[in-house]
Amino acid sequence: DVVNKINSRLLFPVLALALVVVAACSSSGGSRFADLPLSDEPLTGKFIWHDLITDDLDQAKRFYGGLFGWSFEDTTHPNGGDYTLITLGDQYVGGIVQLADPDGADYSRWLGYLSVRDVDRAVEFNRAQGGMVAAGPIDLPGIGRAAAIQDPQTAVVGLFSSDHGDPDDSLDPGPGQVVWSEMLASDDEAAVGFYTSLAGYETVDEQRARGVYHQLVSQGRKRAGVMQRPTEDVKPFWLTHFGVADLAQATKLTEELGGSVLLAPDAGFRNGLLAVVVDPNGAILALHQWTD
């Protein structure tokens, strides 16, 4: 059970995000931290940070460094946990936390953190709707509050409420960065209702060839999507999309670097602009053809 196995380790990445926020608000922060633009008010409903949970840090660095051109900075949390920050040029992309499970099970995944106004209320709402708490809530004095939940359809997502605002919308995403997040739901309508109540979204629905695609909107921006899972064999989860400049090349490179392709680019699906792949440690991600 992912809730029992990952437990409080899910909050290690949140502590790293907290370090970024604190340094960005401090004149003594590092140059990239100090340049991190923060919103005046929390951007409720925005995915503000993404982390990779993996059981092989070195292999993850080789794969993602080769695929996206990322660099890595190994750091230590105030609580003593190891953490790796991901950078692309002068921007932070997210982070990596290594989690080795003694029973050999694979819990590798990409985990997104959603900005909410009140973490405790969000956690209680999730519990009332049949979800579970994966970790927290934990108080980060002078920074904010965090938790991780397993939603009513068992998808895992992080929650964060900052005392200083969130990474704002001034930096446009591009190749090598997170460009979209979407939930593959066992019940798409129920998932839309849940997250709309959780984060105050408005919704825009679009009829597509394979059904309705729900876009979750906050602050006038499309923040994420929800769709019905393609088959019952797919466990509900949040799929993180990364921009690539050349989808065919990135898909080929995925295999050369030890990953595998679950869904190759297909003109009949998303106009051939998307591939779903698995990294060498089992984390699923989407490659998204990206242009200005």
Q: Is 169 left (phi over 0), alpha (psi -120 to 50) or beta?
A: alpha
Q: How far apart are CA 161 and CA 189, in angstroms?
A: 26
Asked if 137 contacts 146 with a C-beta cutoff of 8 angstroms, the reply is yes
Confidence (pLDDT) at 27: 32
Arithmetic mean of pLDDT over the chain: 84
* Range from 27-36, 187-196, 226-235, 268-277 that averages highest in pLDDT: 187-196
pLDDT of residue 98: 85
Are residues 225 and 213 in contact, defined by beta-carbon separation less than 8 angstroms?
A: yes
Cβ(144)–Cβ(81) below 8 Å: no
Confirm if 38 and 21 have CB atoms less than 8 A apart.
Answer: yes
pLDDT band at 104 (very low <50, low <70, confident <90, very high): low
- Which range among 18-32, 211-225, 239-253 shows the weakest confidence by mean pLDDT? 18-32
pLDDT computed for residue 36 by the predictor: 66
Amino acid found at 252:
K
pTM of the model as a whole = 0.88
Burial classification of residue 76, based on how many CB atoms lie within 10 Å of its CB (0-12 exposed, 13-18 middle, 19 or more buried)? exposed
Residues composing the chain: 292
Q: What average pLDDT does the segment 232-255 reach?
A: 96
**Alpha carbon of 270 to those of 182, 184, 238: distances in Å?**
14, 15, 18
Phi–psi pair at 42, nearest 5 degrees? -55, 140
- The band of 193, judged by pLDDT with boundaries at 50, 70 and 90, is very high
pLDDT for residue 34 is more than 70:
no
pLDDT bracket for residue 292 (50, 70, 90): low
Query: Does pLDDT of 16 surpass 60?
Result: no
106 Cβ contact list (under 8 Å, min separation 6): 55, 281, 282
pLDDT tier at 102, thresholds 50, 70, 90: low
Q: In angstroms, rounded to a whole number, what is the distance separating the alpha carbons of residues 44 and 48?
A: 9
Q: Is there a contact between 54 and 6 (Cβ–Cβ < 8 Å)? A: no
Query: Do 292 and 277 form a contact (C-beta atoms < 8 A)?
Result: no
Residue 192 gets which letter from DSSP? H
| Closest of 61, 80, 59 to residue 72, by C-alpha | 61
| CA distance readout (Å), 129 to 64, 125, 135, 159 | 36, 6, 17, 16
- Helix and strand numbers (H, E) in the chain are 7, 16
Residue 5's pLDDT band (boundaries 50, 70, 90)? very low
Mean pLDDT value of segment 81-102: 83
Give yes or no for a contact between 276 and 263, defined as CB atoms under 8 angstroms apart.
yes
Model confidence at 229: pLDDT above 80: yes
242 pLDDT band, cuts 50/70/90, is very high
